[in-house]
Amino acid sequence: METVLELRDVTFRREGRHILEDIGFRVRAGEHWALLGPNGAGKSTVLGFCGAVAFPTSGTVDVLGRRLGRVELQELRRHIGHVNPRHPVRSPLTVTEVVLTGITGTLEPPMRWEPAAAEVARARELIVAIGLDDRRDARWPTLSQGERGRALIARALVSEPHLLLLDEPTTGLDVAAREQLLETIDGLSVAVPDLASVLVTHHLEELPETTSHALLLSHGRIVAAGPIEEAVTTETVTAAFEHPIRVERADGRWSARAVRSERSPA
């Protein structure tokens, strides 16, 4: 299976402080990885390498067969889809217009730019696929947070990327909107079977059922990495979060609960 992303012996330091140390993992086509760990573990920094927007202090990062530091970044980024729920849309764009900005890689449609008919058709096809066909002309300020999340997935996919990055995509969603968004993400494994993805979260309940692999981080180091059934366990999650946590999986979904300490009777 084709390697889409590979980090080897990656170290990152900022202002003399180690943020990441000895990070290495490989993502192949069709695999769906989760980056898990507490706040400050280094997840966002790793995602920055995956998206070719940050560079390691040492080690190597290969994205879509091209090594960071030896490639034209703007061209590489066109093949990477990025879903960020904090995407700063400031104009009252329609859903269709927001999705089409995924082709130009801009926040606003560029002046005097007109999408090709095939690009508009692709955008509309994705809007239907994410369940927003009846909202395709709705303005961004009128959308719910869940609708925005699904629109941003369509925006990330419109340029037909080989790698999809999801940065805490369920942030700010209620339970129903979260489940709708996770269902949309799960559907990608059927709609785009060769697409590889990396999703950042610190909540196991927010993992899509199709998550195939996981990387657990703590204090900038790897606690566990590999197939999700091996990487996400009571022992590894307890170690990563430095608190006794029981991990369970039912019907393809994960959950985590703190283990209560037993108290002796008074």
Extract the runs of DSSP E, i.e. beta strands, from 106-244.
163-167, 196-200, 213-218, 221-227
pLDDT for res 25: 97
CATH class of 3-79+161-258: alpha beta
Parse the chain into domains and list their residue ranges: 3-79+161-258, 93-160
Cβ atoms of 157 and 81 within 8 Å: the answer is yes
Mean pLDDT of 72-97: 88
| Secondary structure string (H, E, C) spanning 135-175 | HCCCEHHHCCHHHHHHHHHHHHHCCCCCEEEEECCCCCCCH
Residue 179 CB burial class (10 angstroms; 0-12, 13-18, ≥19): middle
pLDDT tens sequence across 20-29: 999 999 999 9
pLDDT tens sequence across 110-154: 888 888 999 999 999 999 988 899 999 999 999 998 999 999 999
CA-atom Rg of the chain in angstroms: 19
Positive or negative: CA dihedral 207, 181, 150, 38: negative
pLDDT tens sequence across 184-235: 999 999 989 999 999 999 899 999 999 999 999 999 999 999 999 999 999 9
Please state the pTM of the whole predicted model: 0.90
Region of 144 (left: φ > 0; alpha: ψ -120 to 50; beta: rest) is beta
b/e code 234-255 from CB counts within 10 Å (16+ = b): eebbbebbeeebebeeeeebbe
Region of 27 (left: φ > 0; alpha: ψ -120 to 50; beta: rest) is beta
User: Which ranges of 1-72 would DSSP assign to H, the alpha helix?
Assistant: 43-50
Is residue 61 predicted with pLDDT exceeding 50?
yes
pLDDT for res 113: 86
Is residue 264 predicted with pLDDT exceeding 60?
no
pLDDT for res 260: 79
d(CA 160, CA 158): 5
Is residue 1 predicted with pLDDT exceeding 80?
no
Cβ atoms of 166 and 83 within 8 Å: the answer is yes
**pLDDT band (50, 70, 90) for residue 261:** low
Beta strand 58-63 pairing with 3-14: antiparallel
pLDDT for res 115: 86
φ, ψ (nearest 5 deg) of residue 164: -120, 125
Mean pLDDT of 47-60: 93
